Structure 1
């Protein structure tokens, strides 16, 4: 069993409308832990690519050690399109359904279904989940009390780094941003022909030496085997297609409108290697409210991209003190 018995499966069917247009149903699968005595504190954990909710199997054990499960509701969904959550792509080719804005709205709808429409929450996300978390903090300022983002810089910065200035080192390191965003059916066909190999290779190549080959095999199987379902391959691809199109448009609108920065407390966590490749402080400080950002490197140089599982203890050790500074009555 990957998660403590207190984590119960929840599936919520969302029938949402956007700009007055009825959208196809989205089903969100999640695990939900409720403390014995509810304190109305909710933490949402969002996974990234190529994983699903089981990314956090070791993470929640560390949260338990530090007493967070005694006080907080924990919600860990599969992002729409990943794992056991479903998302029908936009029929018009806009990729809007899989945009971070739409997925952020899906997460809010999940919280509404579980706790009601006034419940505030803290969100922590890794990789693609961190991009949803950042969008949540911008679009739902009245609901999000704090945001923790792990291992990302803004989407636009990733594409800007794909150039010859470093002999295309960053381009090769982020090739999947282009490959996965290519039009259907090319990536679907190529990945579908050998999905186990492709995702096993992806996970291993992004994992640091400290953890390579040491992840729980049940978790790894859940990450790899989900892509035997063609709909999950499409879900991940639509995520990246949105990232290369509509997500950039939304971010550029924020820049023009002066709403690119978040106003809630922001915790930025990254691996040593990520910090060596990116000016994390220089990039994120202008996008946070003055005095409300903390930036921390976790683990050592043997830790790779998947810090919630490769460096679960160190990551949680940074998260928990920050969580305890947040005031759940501050926006009521």
Structure 2
């Protein structure tokens, strides 16, 4: 009989804790959205689909963002208007989470092309006629839509911008330094993209800082979303601006020569920067629209974020006309 040593008692194995903080990815913060709005992608051409936020019910209004922003700039105004309107907030082609086709000619990012995107977007969503408001770059698209599609745009609002042709004619001398970015981004393809990409956050963040009277109007998460979107869209943003010194001027000149004007009720809301730059903004806009109401808003450039109550009221007043 063979003796066996007593069995070694089984000891549960516990894996020692390992400090692996260095290998963990930082948590990804969710992208901000407009609360209560649905998001979808809508094809507006063979190669371009737009990221769109939609909310509310009632008569439609489309809101177009400016630079260096996305559709999120309308978050306060859109939520208010959604109480009695269907509110459609797209990212323009080349911006935000919309498609960014390569610039293969002057038409890729002309305001005429971008205006056609907006009209097609509304039609794809079942609306043949709608009110349209735009801020900054979006206002230039809205202006072109009003001239090219007068049977589609029922009411038009343009925030803190001049029509492209008037802008170039008005900027001159030392005061034109406020528009240094305009002159940079209209240069031939290559150099502006290279320079801006090299310090994208500093470049785009500069405008978020100096154009706002209220620095708290753009909270940290929204600012981060703006910078991320711009960082990923430098070539298309530059192409948008480059078109404004070429084909967009040609289109405006043709309309001015033909005497074409905005046929719908128009509201223009601006900071009090016209007098400071040596021109009368209301008079310049009056040359394009018969039924015009021009108002000055006491805030910085980002008026839909800095003064959303005023902007919402102005848009409601416009759509009641």
TM-score range, shorter chain: 0.7 to 0.9
Could you tell me which residue of structure 2 aligns to residue 320 of structure 1? Answer: 316
| TM-score normalised to structure 1 length | 0.83
Q: Which of 43, 47, 51 is matched with 1:13 structurally?
A: 43
Question: Counterparts in 2 of 1:26-65, with a 5 A limit?
Answer: 26-35=48-57, 39=58, 41-61=59-79, 63=80
CA–CA distance in 2 between the matches of 1:257 and 1:276?
Answer: 31
Could you tell me which residue of structure 1 aligns to residue 135 of structure 2? Answer: 126
CA apart distance, 1:58: 2.2
| TM-score normalised to structure 2 length | 0.86
CA–CA distance in 2 between the matches of 1:14 and 1:3?
Answer: 22
- Detail structure 1 runs of 4+ shifted over 6 Å in the superposition: none
1:307–1:315 contact (8 Å) kept in structure 2: yes
Q: Does 1:115 align with 2:126?
A: yes
Could you tell me which residue of structure 1 aligns to residue 257 of structure 2? Answer: 256
CA apart distance, 1:235: 1.2
Write out per-residue CA displacement over residues 114-172 of structure 1, whole angstroms, 9 at most, x where no aligned residue: 115xx2100000001000101111101111001000111121222223333xxx12x21
CA apart distance, 1:220: 0.9
Q: Which of 145, 150, 168 is matched with 1:141 structurally?
A: 150
Aligned length: 289
Q: Which of 111, 114, 128 is matched with 1:103 structurally?
A: 114
CA apart distance, 1:74: 0.3
Q: Which of 83, 92, 103 is matched with 1:79 structurally?
A: 92
Question: Counterparts in 2 of 1:164-179, with a 5 A limit?
Answer: 164=173, 168-169=174-175, 171-179=176-184
CA apart distance, 1:214: 4.2
Structure-2 change in CA distance of 1:200 and 1:262 (3 Å): same
1:156–1:248 contact (8 Å) kept in structure 2: yes
CA–CA distance in 2 between the matches of 1:146 and 1:203?
Answer: 29
Write out per-residue CA displacement over residues 261-280 of structure 1, whole angstroms, 9 at most, x where no aligned residue: 10100001111334643412
Unaligned runs of 5+ in 1: 17-24, 326-332
Structure-2 change in CA distance of 1:34 and 1:318 (3 Å): closer
CA–CA distance in 1 between the matches of 2:85 and 2:93?
Answer: 24
